[in-house]
Structure 1
Amino acid sequence: MGIAYAQQGTPTGEGGSAGLIAALAPPVLIFFVFYLLMIRPQQKKTREQKEMLGNLKTGDQVETTGGLYGTIVKFGEDNRVKVRIAENVTVFIARSAITGKVAETTEAAKSKSE
């Protein structure tokens, strides 16, 4: 039979804390990179979208999540917005369904060129 020896730690006890820091460093670094590349840009985009929805006014040209373009006619109750999408065609949509303001429509471009 062989002789079994017990392992001894370092006499000063420094190995435990250094090992803990070395073990926690990679997950902390991964979370930090994940935050910079994923979470922070999404928060910024959400904040900009909320600000844009808060600054909408009658007459603004908007695009919806369904891909429709139209002009805001009036604001209704329950976060609904009345949007004119064609001549004599208006629809109510949820304010949250507006994805953005349109800088310039083709009609506006035509009137500027004439």
Structure 2
Amino acid sequence: METLIGLLPIILMFVIFYFLLIRPQQKKQKQVQQMQSELQKGDEIITIGGIHGTIHALDEGTVVVTVNDGSSLKMDRSSVRERKND
């Protein structure tokens, strides 16, 4: 019984750590993955690198982004941070 009482603070710290740090991060990661899988042609996006553009073409793992000056960039879907027209 004393061993359990001695381990209780460590167990409590792990539970608090889980609910304050790990769980919210997992929820956010799920939302980002869902947004990346729902991308469509014509969506305005912002990439992780800060590039603002419009999706011109989609492939299974890549997107082609057209920026304002008319140039196109091919990049991974995972590099898309957010969709602007939500």
TM-score relative to the length of structure 2 = 0.93
SS class of match (2:67): strand
Cα shift at 1:93: 1.1
Q: Equivalent residue for 1:51?
A: 34
Aligned length: 86
Cα root mean square deviation, aligned? 1.4
Cα shift at 1:103: 2.9
Give 4+ residue runs of structure 1 displaced > 6 Å after superposition: none
SS class of match (2:45): strand
- Percent identity among equivalent residues? 34
Cα shift at 1:75: 1.0
Q: Equivalent residue for 1:23?
A: 6
TM-score relative to the length of structure 1 = 0.71
**Which string of whole-angstrom CA distances, capped at 9 and with x for unpartnered residues, describes residues 41-97 of structure 1?**
0000100000000110000000001101000000135x1110001232111011110
Q: Distance in 1 between matches of 2:26 and 2:59?
A: 28
Q: Equivalent residue for 2:55?
A: 72
User: Which sections of structure 1, spanning at least 5 residues, go unmatched?
Assistant: 1-17, 105-114
1:1-114 equivalent positions in 2, closer than 5 A = 18-76=1-59, 79-103=61-85
User: Which sections of structure 2, spanning at least 5 residues, go unmatched?
Assistant: none
Asked if the contact 2:43/2:85 (under 8 Å) is kept, the reply is no
